[in-house]
Amino acid sequence: MADVISLSAVAAGQSAILRDYPKAGVAFLRLREMGLLPGTRLKLVRTAPMGDPLEIEVRGYRLTLRRSEADAIQVELTAS
Amino acid sequence: MISPAPRVATVGAPTARTPPVYALVGNPNCGKSTLFNALTGLKQKVGNYPGVTVEKKIGTAYSQHGQPLTVVDLPGAYSLAARSPDEAVTRDVLLGRRLDTAAPDRILCIVDATNLERNLYLVHQILDLGRPVILVLNMMDLAAKAGIRIRVDLLEKELGIPVVPCEAAHGKGLVELKVAMSRNDLPLSRHSWSIPAPIAPAVSELQASLVESDRKGPLSARAEALLLLTDQDTVRVAGSTQLSERTLSILHTWQKRWQTQGTDWAASLVGSRYDAIGRLCVEVVGTGAKNLSAVNSSDRIDGVVTHPFWGWLVLGGVMAALFLSIFTLAEYPMNWIDDRVAGLADWVKDVMPQGDLRDLIADGAIAGVGGVIIFLPQILILFFFIGLLESTGYMARAAFIMDRLMNKVGLNGKSFIPLLSSYACAIPGIMATRTIEDPKDRLVTILVAPLMSCSARLPVYLLMIAALVPGEQVPLLTKVGLMLGMYALGTFGAFGFAWLFKRTLFKGQPPLMIMELPPYRLPRIRDVLQQMLERGGLFLKRAGTIILGISIVLWFLSTYPKSPEGTTAQEQMTHSFAGRAGHFIEPAIKPLGFDWQIGIGLIASFAAREVFVSTMSVVFNAQGESDETTPLRQALLAARWPDGTPLFTPLTCISLMVFYVFAMQCISTIAIVKRETNSWRWPLFQLAYMTGTAWVVSFLVFQGGRALGF
């Protein structure tokens, strides 16, 4: 199994598969409902000019989230 | 799980008397407003849900045979597990929890065909409600361009409901949609999905309790039971009914049990829905050769717009264009309105017999109404720009690049546009805070927005700068420097207070920045204009009466008691209640360098800041025939304290400017804050903290300046 890193450590342009996800918190429930679930493929598109928030591509659309949430989300890098 | 046999709806069947009521629901950015406008045209009623500031829009569409169909446009939502007051209203209307709005007979679900998977999540929740649903696949042209092929017939078969492909922006598919909407025999959905095994018993128990204790229908009770399990931090809004104790206690018992077992109930429910949606999408969405040019052009724009250097330049350019158009374009209609209002007041004075009633109408009511509508051009232009930025998708990018800065004071990127708009006028800024989901963030943004120096402060600044600098012509650099100083002070104050409020009054979770970045789309000017007119009308309706009332009170205060015949306007003013009040407050404002005459200006301009200038010309300039042509500036420079020292020293001028930076001298803002927060508490708090700050800072400036020898 490839290395699991936090979503905020993914470089722009890299693709990954979501592995582990915090259970509690309204932020994570909403992210789940926006289609970000364990096993979901995603791509880190870019970070905002000042480094936060992040823009990701998931299920064919673009979503932003802050580093504070991305830190807690574990992903596994995949070949783009 | 076995699929239930297709049933024909009886609940939603329209009778001959009452037209069927459709609720229009969908994700944000899926073209819902465009469809609503296309369906109902101008036959719309815009209002508010009582108790919350969420827009309520109801329109009437007509079928091909002229049968009326009522359509309620519900706020855009990603999920029925609400995160914002907007989403909470959508949830509560659909679940029949609102007393002011009956649960709709049927539901019109609109989805963005280019983004089917995520859009179907809300649809999936709605299918559970046990009401007839029509699914509208919008933006089929864009989906085709992006190489997404949706097998509509298969989707229709799988869900068991009518599915109508459509291009709302071009009016395509509307006929087919209206045909489907006027059907008497809309089927209920056949779609079924498996509730995860550990959760199923809880769903049945909650469903039973909802049927017995909350008097819900069995199907909507099941939907509500499922929803309760994912609605972790329930947003409650005024005007919605609460659930029974029994249901809530069952819910808490189960949640506790799962917590000790380590069952992630919410996640497994969301997961099961996405599993079902995923299987559906594999079947119905064709995986043809993908043409990604549409995605790529959006990406290329984003490469510039969110670039570490060009991004700021674009943002600066957009904002400069916005302000330039407000200050240049709005001037003509504002002058026109000003002339018309003055003309009307003169006309009334001509035709009516002299007396108090004439003065009340001409100087009180007409001037008061004029004071409201004079703001309209600026407000409409701002609403137009905000609508344009929203519908193109740029608004989300502005929030994206500004988020980091806003985060430093505890707000998120979505507060940026409302605060920025407030440089022109706080009213549209405050009305634009509706896009902020978190109620605390929204309130903080509303509270600090009027600190951004609005255009009504400009005349006061300009007058004070003219009085401050010796010589006929004010050097440009001094003027610009002082202006920038005042704008910086206001901005600094707004962010400072936001920081303070977020740490004291509104402590809570740091705001989230979970936001969709929709693809760039060409705006539909008709929709933008319609929205602009709606919001303008809403402003007039909401603020108009309060502003009119206070204007009349202020007119009364500066007119009564009447001084004897033949006195000048200046003598009348000093003799009036306002003049006496000026004397009365002099001890309080003397430490700021202001005398009672400036006090009259402060009181009179409580209605609107720019009134200060006209009041000053009455107070200082109306001393006789010969002085009538004296510029106000000369009159101010000639003004003296009783001991003969000049009144308008440079220090007093600066102190007065600083006072206007912070003071809440605008009844329109007070009125709109009252409406938006639904109570007098916040506008009064705002009035108190802003005026208090104005006093303290002016005091520090004046006394500090004196101590330094100015």
| ipTM of the complex in this document | 0.94
**Average pLDDT of the segment spanning B542-563:** 77
Residues B122 and B207 occupy one common structural domain? no
pLDDT band of residue A58 (cuts 50, 70, 90) is very high
B42 and B131 co-located in one domain: yes
Instruction: Decide if pLDDT at B706 tops 80.
Output: yes
Structure tokens of B371? 């004071």
Q: Residue B401 and residue A49: Cβ atoms within 8 Å?
A: yes
Whether B601 is covered by a domain: the verdict is: yes
Question: Does residue B186 belong to any structural domain of this protein?
Answer: no
Indicate which of A8, A21, A42, A50 best probes the interface with B, i.e. most B CBs within 10 Å of its own CB: A50
Residue at B504 is within a domain: no
Q: Quick one: B596 and B655 in the same domain?
A: yes
Average pLDDT over residues A56-64: 92
Which of B123-132, B468-477, B497-506, B621-630 has the lowest average pLDDT? B621-630
For residue A2, name the pLDDT band (cuts at 50, 70, 90): low
Question: Cβ contact (<8 Å) for A61 and B118?
Answer: yes
Q: Does B159 share its domain with B230?
A: no
Q: Which of B115, B401, B513 sits opposite A61 (nearest CB)?
A: B115
- Asked if A53 has any chain B CB less than 8 Å from its own CB, the reply is yes
Structural domain harbouring A31 = 4-78
* B654 vs B489: CA distance, rounded Å: 12
Pair B598, B645 in one domain:
yes
Pairing of strands B515-516, A61-65: antiparallel
Selecting from A23, A31, A59 the residue whose C-beta is nearest the C-beta of B264 gives A23
Specify the higher pLDDT residue, B2 or B291: B291
Rounded Cα–Cα distance for residues B103 and B101 (Å): 6
B216, B174: one domain = no
Q: Are residues B657 and B626 in the same domain?
A: yes
Query: Is pLDDT at B501 greater than 60 in this prediction?
Result: yes
Q: What are the pLDDT digits (tens) for B387-424? A: 898 889 898 999 999 999 888 888 888 898 889 888 88
Interacting residues of B161 by C-beta distance below 8 A, sequence separation 6+:
B127, B132, B133, B134, B135, B186, B187, B188, B189, B190
Domain count, chain A: 1
Beta-carbon separation of A29 and B509 below 8 A: no
Question: Which pLDDT value is given to residue B248?
Answer: 86
- Asked if residue B177 and residue B69 are part of one domain, the reply reads yes
Show residues of chain A in contact with B400, CB under 8 Å.
48, 53, 55, 64
B26 lies in a domain?
Answer: yes
Banded pLDDT at B241 (limits 50, 70, 90): confident
Structure confidence at residue B695 (pLDDT): 96
Residue B236 in any domain: the answer is yes
Asked whether the whole model's pTM tops 0.90, one would answer no
Same domain, B103 and B249: no
Residue B629 lies in a domain: yes
Tokens of B385: 């720009």
Indicate the range of B18-32, B199-213, B599-613 predicted with least confidence: B599-613
Mean pLDDT for B622-650 is 71
Counting beta carbons within 10 angstroms of the beta carbon of residue B194, is it exposed (0 to 12), middle (13 to 18) or buried (19 or more)?
Answer: exposed
Of chain B, the percentage scoring pLDDT greater than 70 comes to 92
Residues of chain B that touch chain A, judged by Cβ-Cβ distance less than 8 Å: 78-79, 81, 83, 114-115, 117-118, 121, 230, 232-233, 264, 266-267, 270-271, 274, 299, 302, 306-308, 311-312, 400-401, 403-405, 407, 413, 509-510, 512-519
What pLDDT score does B134 carry?
Answer: 95
Best interface-test mutation with A: which of B514, B516, B521 has the largest number of A CBs within 10 A? B514
Which amino acid is located at A44 in the chain?
A: L
Q: pLDDT (tens digit, 9 = 90+) per residue, B366-381?
A: 877 777 787 788 888 8
CA dist., res. B146 & res. B140, Å (int)? 10
Phi, psi of B343 (to 5 degrees): -60, -45
Q: Are B105 and B11 in contact (CB under 8 A)?
A: yes
Candidates B271, B306, B311; nearest CB to A37:
B271
Q: Does A32 touch chain B (CB under 8 A)?
A: yes
Return the pLDDT at A75: 94
Is B12 inside a domain boundary?
no
What is the pLDDT confidence band of residue A73, given thresholds at 50, 70 and 90? very high
pLDDT of B226 above 60: yes
* pLDDT of B630 over the 60 cut: no
Mean pLDDT, range B535-557, rounded to an integer: 77
B91 and B34 in one domain?
A: yes
Cα gap B285→B120, rounded to integer Å: 12
Domain limits for position B177: 21-181
Average pLDDT over residues B80-98: 86
Residue B256 lies in a domain: yes
Mean pLDDT of B184-189: 85
Pick from B286, B321, B350: which residue ends a domain? B286
End-to-end CA distance of chain B: 85
Tell me the pLDDT band of B633, cut-offs 50, 70 and 90: confident
pLDDT at B447: 95
Same-domain pairing of B703 and B597 = yes
Q: Which of B426, B480, B456 is nearest to B612 (CA)?
A: B456
Residue where a domain stops, chosen among B235, B270, B286: B286
Total domains present in chain B: 3
Residue B144 and residue B36 share a domain: yes
| Distance of alpha carbon B203 from the chain centroid | 37
Q: Which two tokens stand for residue B215?
A: 């008097």
**Domain C-terminal end among B149, B181, B213:** B181
CATH number at residue A31: 2.30.30.90
Window from B21-35, B94-108, B463-477, B580-594 with minimum mean pLDDT: B463-477
Q: What is the pLDDT of residues B335-366, one digit of tens each?
A: 898 888 888 888 988 888 888 888 888 877 88
Residue to mutate among A7, A37, A61, with most B CBs inside 10 A, is A61
Q: Measured between CB atoms, does A27 come within 8 Å of chain B? A: yes
Distance CA B176, CA B341 (A): 50
pLDDT of residue B294: 53
- CB-CB neighbors (< 8 A) of A30 in chain B: 78-79, 83, 512, 514
